[in-house]
Amino acid sequence: MADAKFDARTMLDGYRARTGEFRILDVPPQQYLMLDGHGDPNTEPYRDAIATIYPVAYKLKFASKALGRDYVVPPLEALWSAPDMAAFTSQRDKSQWDWTLLSHVPDWITRAQVDAAIATVAAGGRAGRLDDVRFETLAEGRCVQTLHLGPFDEEGPTLARMHDEVIPAAGLRMSGRHHEIYLSDTRRVDPARFRTILRQPVDAA
């Protein structure tokens, strides 16, 4: 019998979160396609990054399926930071944001396969920012995460509670970049129903 199709959303603990619950978990090192950028995610550079990374993710999926290991392309993810994190949490000054777009890659995928997928996409005439796509391992370790339900611009109170109350109360401090996992297709879902995992890497205080 063929192996079950791998789905990170149901098979990896890091994709589990509930609204109102701030869970501490240890996230193992994981592979990602990565693409860096700066500024408002509602502008063309961010959309170009998505249009670049998704074709590579799907080429990888189909190449893996052809070799007998199928999987669901995971939801889009991103790392976020700013010189002053208030620009991300309370002030929402999107012009100050640095971001790294992420697409999770199953652990059996190799660098050679990623290089081949990028070359195939390029040969099809969809260059985009292919030269900037990286294949790296992200090691976040201990994290605190929760599920935000609603528009992205309403994340502020949840992040403030995570940063100012939950993390210090657990004897922890923030480390690493803010991480979001977008469980909803924003093209088809009303913003009031967006489901976004909010994750913050932490260390002992």
pTM score, whole prediction: 0.94
Tens of pLDDT along 82-137? 888 777 777 778 888 999 999 999 999 999 999 999 999 999 987 789 999 999 99
CA distance 171 to 40: 33
pLDDT the model gives residue 161: 94
pLDDT the model gives residue 1: 39
Candidates 132, 147, 70; CA nearest to 101 is 132
pLDDT the model gives residue 143: 98
Q: Do 80 and 93 contact (CB within 8 A), yes or no?
A: no
Domains of the chain and any CATH numbers: 8-204 (3.20.80.10)
Reported in sequence order, the residue ranges of 82-163 that DSSP labels E, i.e. its strands, are 98-105, 134-138, 141-149
pLDDT the model gives residue 104: 98
CA distance 135 to 151: 30
Q: Which value, to the nearest 10 degrees, does the dihedral of the CA atoms of residues 118, 121, 122, 127 take?
A: -100
